[in-house]
Amino acid sequence: MSFNNLDQLYRSVIMDHYKNPRNKGSLETDAVTIDMNNPTCGDRIHLTLKVNDGVVEDAKFDGEGCSISMSSASMMTQIIKGKKVEEALELADIFSKMMMGEEYSDKYDLEDVEALQGVSQFPARIKCATLAWKAMEKGVKE
Ligand code: FES
């Protein structure tokens, strides 16, 4: 696949998550709740997580933001569901490295998250992409 086609594919994966967010909403019972915002633009995320026996059993998010922040939240909830807390934290670390343009472990299949790789070339958007992941890290540590 040529670079342009890959770019196009990644763009359409991002837009699909933005227009059809996975795990949108809020968990009502026994959920850890985290609210965070991006002070530079006012975008916000409301994340609820159900963690049981060290496993992230469920995750939902709500909020407002740009396509990068909302698609990243959608992808993040999708990939961490069913993962152990330490795996979710490892994924957050891998994602952070990806955003910084650093080498990262290939231990996990990153699924749709791969589509956000290109964000590392736009420093102003990195905070958009990492908002949901920071909320998740805070939530699972609680
Ligand atoms: Fe606000 Fe992207 S512009 S999170």
| Among the listed residues 33, 16, 38, the one whose alpha carbon sits nearest the alpha carbon of residue 127 | 38
Burial class for 66, CB neighbours closer than 10 Å (0-12, 13-18, 19+) = middle
Residue linked to tokens 């740009």: 66
Task: Identify how many contiguous H helices and E strands the chain contains and give both numbers.
Answer: 4, 3
Residue linked to tokens 């807390």: 85
**Using CA atoms, how far apart are residues 86 and 34, in angstroms rounded to an integer?**
18
| pLDDT digit string (tens) for the chain, length 142 residues | 566 787 899 999 999 999 999 999 999 888 999 999 999 998 999 999 999 999 999 999 999 999 999 999 999 999 999 999 999 999 999 999 999 999 999 999 999 999 999 999 999 999 999 999 999 999 999 8
- For residue 130, how far is its CA from the centre of ligand 1 (angstroms)? 10
pTM of the model: 0.95
| DSSP character at residue 54 | T
Residue nearest to atom 3 of ligand 1 (CA): 66
- For residue 131, how far is its CA from the centre of ligand 1 (angstroms)? 9
On whether the 3-140 domain is CATH 3.40.50.620, my answer is: no
- For residue 65, how far is its CA from the centre of ligand 1 (angstroms)? 5
The residues spanned by each domain of the chain are 3-140
Ligand 1 neighbours (beta carbon < 6 A): 38, 41, 43, 65-66, 68-69, 128, 131
